[in-house]
Amino acid sequence: MPTVAELAALVGGEHLAECGVLEISGPAALAEARPGEISFFGHPRYASDLKTTRASAVFVPRDFAGETPAACIRVEDPSAAFTAVTHRFVPVPVAPLPGVHPSATVDPTAKIAPGSCVQAQAVIEAGATVGEGSVIGAGCYLGKNARIGAGCLLHAHTVVREDCILGDRVILHCGVVVGSDGFGYDTNDSRHHKIPQIGCVVIGDDVEIGANTTIDRARFGRTVIGEGTKIDNLVMIAHNVVIGRHCIICAQVGISGSTQIGDYVVIAGQAGLVGHIKVGDGAIIGAQSGLSNDLEPKAIVVGSPPRPIGEWKRGIVRLDRLGQLYDRVKKLEQRPG
């Protein structure tokens, strides 16, 4: 088992000399850790857990001045340090063997790189390509002319429909659908008539997309997910949306058609964006916000309608005090004369 000294050296941490010989058996959360395990303290809300943890060692910020029964390893970023040492205790995953499973259905015109893996009952249509080292999980479907880059990982039962393109090292979790039809209809003669959705989806390198997220193909042209963007579970992205590089989009977000989102944007859970608006680089949209207008770069908004975060906080405080104000007014009204 590694010692505290060895783990501290791995992440450039500092510790008391007498604690360096402690052996660590594995990682754990502060509240759940047992003697011999290591944890981390990354947010003040966990201060009470830190005071009572049974962990033998804890990563803390370099300026930490609190109390804990555990040996402290001081680092710049406790969460990142914890992640780094966790790999010491996690078994190396077994890499899927290259090749095509006998139960998979692969069109003769599809091109599968020799070092890639196609697992059981996957279906790959005509003209599709799979890059070197990519894994197409059990039950996946690749439509006609779909293109999968190198080093991609498509978990079981994901769908990449016709003409859609994935860059290199893209990860799709179970149930992701890339290239479903956009939601577009013309209404006349008292009926809704489907508008053909003839575009595609283009996903950049190093994108990761969570389970059961859907990304619609463009009505024409492309729906785009930029390089390095990370998308959580249960997100819906409509046709012709363009999302920039290295964005974070949390669970249950809905983005309507033709909206353009810049680079390094953060959209928190359950936020909704109307169509045909622009969100500037580095903006942050708070949880459950409803965005209906363009947003400037680096703006931070929350609420529905969304307001700057400082204004929103003041509004919440005032709303909480309405009861007190009501009681004061009632007393004034009851005064004689």
Contact status, residue 265 vs residue 284, Cβ threshold 8 Å = yes
Residues with catalytic function: 239
Distance CA 145, CA 169 (A): 19
Q: Tell me the residue length of the chain.
A: 337
Chain centroid to Cα 336, Å, comes to: 61
For residues 141 and 220, give the distance between their C-alpha atoms in angstroms, rounded to a whole number. 22
Determine the Cα angle at 214 with ends 212 and 215, to 5°: 150
Q: Return the structure tokens found at 29.
A: 């959360």
| Residue found by looking up tokens 């893996």 in the block | 117
Look up residue 227 and give its DSSP letter. Answer: T
Give the separation between CA 282 and CA 6, rounded to whole angstroms.
Answer: 38
